[in-house]
Amino acid sequence: MDSEEIQTIPVSARQVLRWGLITAGVFAIAATVALGVTLGVIYHRVSTQVDERLAAGPFQNAITYYAAPEVLSVGDAMSPAELTDALRRAGVKSTASENEVAVHSAVQAQIQFAKGAISSIIDVNGRHVARYEIPAQLITNLSNQGRSKRLMVHYSDMPPALVHAIVSAEDKRFFAHSGFDVFRIGKAMYVDVRQRRKEQGASTISMQLARNLWLARDKNWKRKMREALITFHLERTLSKQQIFEDYCNAVYLGGQGTFSISGFGQAARAYFNKDIQKLNLTESAIRADPAAQLFESFP
């Protein structure tokens, strides 16, 4: 009976390398898909939480205090500039000329002046009326989380000098990047490696907003990943002006008594006794100190 000879087929090193590369490639693709799915699930959860808070208002956990409405009457001593300031504090838009202020609100009116007093009040129908009520002015917001005072401001309320000072100090390319400043991150890594310690930060204004509103203060890789995902979602959802506005209302700027001061609106009142619109160039530039130490040093 003929016997069959079993021959061993030699495997070349090239074949071993090829199968090794194929196996490694399969594992790499599987790991990439798994990582993508995991990040997708986490992003969906994070973005849902962010959207819910944005829909309710990012500062909804606060008690808002208003002053009593101010009633203007014919004959009251007042100038057009004083009326314009009062309307602005109440969040009402207006246009002023030398002897007249036009009020642009739900209750429109033209208020005329003569000899340092209100001479006439004309409603939207052209009728002369005796009185006009300015809506209640916001005094402050008290957060029920950590005893914080905040006076909400809008981007349009901020003087250009203040916007420039904040951007220069915190995030020079804020209006150009998409939430992450690659050049700043690279520079920070280079400096940290060279100094052998964490010397420079690379957080953008968008990243700081994500951290201030949605994250705890602990430092770990999970929080950094959530911060990056929230930042990415904020940049997709909000305009740069809205992100900047929310940051300016959220940032910590020192303390007053037993309360912390949050936002530039409250800081302008606390440190300069002014509305934010009236901050001059010098006062705005004080905020250029990233730690707000100069801001806090003012009585």
pLDDT of res. 201: 67
User: What's the CA gap between 199 and 215, in Å, rounded?
Assistant: 23
pLDDT in tens, 281-299: 777 776 545 444 444 444 4
Predicted local confidence at residue 112, as pLDDT = 94
Which domains are seen in the chain, by residue range? 57-63+140-297 (1.10.3810.10), 68-134 (3.30.2060.10)
Per-residue pLDDT of 195-218, as tens digits, reads: 776 655 678 999 999 988 888 777
DSSP label at residue 66:
E
pLDDT attached to residue 63:
64
pTM above 0.95, yes or no: no
Instruction: For the chain, list residues with pLDDT below 70.
Output: 1-12, 60-66, 138-147, 197-201, 257-258, 286-299
Report the b/e string of 109-139 with b at 16+ CB within 10 A: bebbbeeeebeebbeeeeeeeeebebbebbe
What are the Cα distances from residue 259, in Å, to 83, 141, 188, 269, 270?
Answer: 31, 12, 33, 14, 11
Residue whose pair of structure tokens reads 């309307």 in the numeric block: 87
* Residue 212: predicted pLDDT: 85
Give how far the C-alpha of residue 28 lies from the chain's centroid of Cα atoms, to the nearest Å: 39
Q: Which of 207, 166, 168 is nearest to 185 (CA)?
A: 207
* Amino acid 231: pLDDT: 93
Alpha carbon distance 295, 299 (integer Å): 9
Distances (CA, A) of 290 to 58, 124, 252, 271: 23, 47, 11, 17
72 in Cβ contact with 111 (< 8 Å): yes
What is the structure's pLDDT at 297?
44
